């Protein structure tokens, strides 16, 4: 039996960022990860974008609260910068101009650097776009690419340096409440801790059920990404990412090719999700409609799960009915860009210190991330 102060289930970006901040606070922490690679699921399948105009309000605040860590991580955290400039152009189809006005107003209110663009401006920046389909747009100049692998492994390496234990191939199969806290069976071993953190991504409700805790109604949604080769006369180096505000398509340059997604969000079960042929075909069709590109053969494709609660916001809070059971789930499509703040926030709440001051100043409240908020669908 291995005993720690805190057990975390899930070694993705959510679990590892919280583990790192808890270890920094001197807590003994064990992370249990089912796979042999901790980034195997959602964390290793993202589009790796940091945008302060993306997602619901609490996400935007947590993204802004993460910026400082991204730009000035602790000494030796990563070898190269975590963020590199990208910029994102948001485009609106005719009839959807209001979405750009809203984005400009809200983005600026949040401190993001966003400027309006005409269809002609957009054509000059991304010449392959069929801009007759675009009414207007906006450029978020400070949107960045995230080196997800470096960030995730920065958390892992520094967590281990602080004495933390990450156990891979540790599939959690049983959870029992004890007088001392929680007893967890994983990979044939038994682990015990006073506090159990559920950072199992798409499996968050499954883990709750194993622990006899009422699920909060998480829905994993499949999203597809496809790599596309560019013709030799198209040089996409330095292009901003392009994303339709109506969430029908986005693409960004990646090592001289395009990473393209139809922004699909198909509800599914928690599993090792794979891309569907139909979604790949839709991706290519939308790309060929939006641009002058002719794609004969798509490149490699993958799919990942973006997991949401009913109201679209994540939960980072103790369960109201299960002593010492902490939810850290529902990061949706924003779990990488919010990870530093979400990890710090979770560690602070778990240690009984409430919302960190710098997040209070950004308007982050415990209510927004609570497991008791009315927007959740608790299913006994």
Ligand X SMILES: Cc1cc2nc3c(=O)[nH]c(=O)nc-3n(C[C@H](O)[C@H](O)[C@H](O)COP(=O)(O)OP(=O)(O)OC[C@H]3O[C@@H](n4cnc5c(N)ncnc54)[C@H](O)[C@@H]3O)c2cc1C
Positions that interact with ligand X (CB under 6 A): 9-15, 32-35, 38, 40-43, 45-49, 170-172, 199-201, 203, 207, 223, 225, 304-306, 331-337
Q: Two tokens at 327?
A: 């939810």
Q: What's the min distance (Å) between Cβ of 156 and ligand X?
A: 12
d(CA 82, CA 146): 6
d(CA 247, CA 226): 16
Pick 83 or 119: Cβ nearer ligand X: 83
Q: What's the min distance (Å) between Cβ of 4 and ligand X?
A: 15
Q: What's the min distance (Å) between Cβ of 242 and ligand X?
A: 14
Q: What's the min distance (Å) between Cβ of 292 and ligand X?
A: 25
DSSP-assigned beta bridge partners for residue 326: 197, 318
d(CA 305, CA 164): 27
Torsion over CA: 67, 91, 278, 289 (sign): negative
Q: What's the min distance (Å) between Cβ of 331 and ligand X?
A: 4
For 269, list phi and psi in degrees, rounded to 5: -95, 160
Q: Two tokens at 152?
A: 């995730």
* 150 class by beta-carbon count within 10 Å (0-12 exposed, 13-18 middle, 19+ buried): middle
34-38 LR contacts (CB < 8 Å, sep 24+):
34/169, 34/170, 34/171, 34/172, 34/186, 35/11, 35/168, 35/169, 36/168, 36/169, 37/168, 38/11, 38/12, 38/152, 38/156, 38/166, 38/168
Q: What's the min distance (Å) between Cβ of 118 and ligand X?
A: 26
DSSP-assigned beta bridge partners for residue 186: 172, 189
Pick 39 or 181: Cβ nearer ligand X: 39
Residue 342 contacts residue 356 (beta carbons within 8 Å): no
Q: What's the min distance (Å) between Cβ of 207 and ligand X?
A: 6
d(CA 326, CA 329): 10
Pick 132 or 272: Cβ nearer ligand X: 272
Residue 151 contacts residue 127 (beta carbons within 8 Å): no
Pick 52 or 131: Cβ nearer ligand X: 52
Pick 119 or 202: Cβ nearer ligand X: 202
Pick 27 or 34: Cβ nearer ligand X: 34
For 362, list phi and psi in degrees, rounded to 5: -85, 0
Pick 346 or 370: Cβ nearer ligand X: 346
Q: What's the min distance (Å) between Cβ of 206 and ligand X?
A: 7
Pick 259 or 290: Cβ nearer ligand X: 259
Pick 131 or 262: Cβ nearer ligand X: 262
Q: What's the min distance (Å) between Cβ of 327 and ligand X?
A: 11
DSSP per residue over 21-69, as a string? HHHHTT--EEEE-SSSSTTTTGGGGS--EE-TTSSSHHHHHHHHHHHHH
């Amino acid at each position: 039996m291995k005993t720690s102060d805190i057990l975390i289930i899930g070694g993705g970006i959510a679990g590892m960022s919280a583990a790192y901040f808890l270890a920094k606070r001197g807590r003994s922490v064990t992370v249990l990860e089912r796979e042999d690679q901790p980034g195997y699921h959602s964390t290793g399948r993202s589009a790796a974008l940091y945008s302060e105009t993306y997602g619901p309000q609490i996400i935007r605040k947590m993204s802004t609260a993460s910026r400082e860590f991204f730009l000035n991580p602790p000494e030796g955290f990563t070898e190269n910068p975590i963020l590199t400039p990208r910029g994102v152009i948001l485009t609106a189809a005719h009839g959807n101009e209001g979405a750009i006005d809203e984005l400009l107003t809200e983005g600026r209110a949040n401190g993001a650097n966003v400027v309006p663009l005409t269809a002609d401006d957009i054509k000059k920046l991304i010449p392959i776009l069929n801009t007759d389909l675009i009414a207007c747009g906006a450029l978020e100049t400070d949107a960045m690419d995230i080196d997800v692998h470096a960030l995730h492994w920065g958390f892992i390496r520094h967590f281990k340096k602080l004495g933390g234990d990450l156990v891979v191939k540790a599939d959690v199969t049983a959870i029992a409440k004890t007088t001392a806290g929680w007893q967890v069976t994983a990979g044939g071993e038994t682990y015990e801790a006073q506090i159990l953190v559920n950072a199992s991504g798409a499996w968050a409700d499954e883990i709750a059920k194993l622990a006899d805790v009422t699920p909060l109604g998480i829905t994993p949604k499949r999203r597809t990404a496809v790599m596309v080769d560019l013709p030799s006369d198209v040089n996409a180096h330095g292009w901003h990412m392009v994303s339709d505000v109506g969430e029908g398509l986005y693409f960004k340059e990646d090592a001289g090719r395009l990473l393209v997604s139809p922004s699909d969000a198909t509800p599914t079960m928690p599993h090792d999700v794979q891309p569907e042929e139909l979604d790949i075909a839709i991706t290519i069709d939308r790309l060929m409609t939006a641009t002058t590109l002719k794609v004969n053969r798509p490149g490699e494709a993958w799919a990942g799960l973006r997991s949401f609660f009913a109201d679209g916001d994540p939960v980072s809070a103790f369960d109201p009915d299960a002593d010492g059971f902490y939810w850290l789930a529902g990061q949706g499509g924003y779990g990488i860009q919010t990870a530093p703040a979400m990890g710090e926030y979770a560690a602070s709440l778990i240690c009984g210190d409430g919302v960190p001051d710098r997040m209070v100043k950004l308007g982050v409240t415990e209510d927004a991330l609570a497991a008791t908020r009315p927007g959740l669908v608790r299913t006994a």
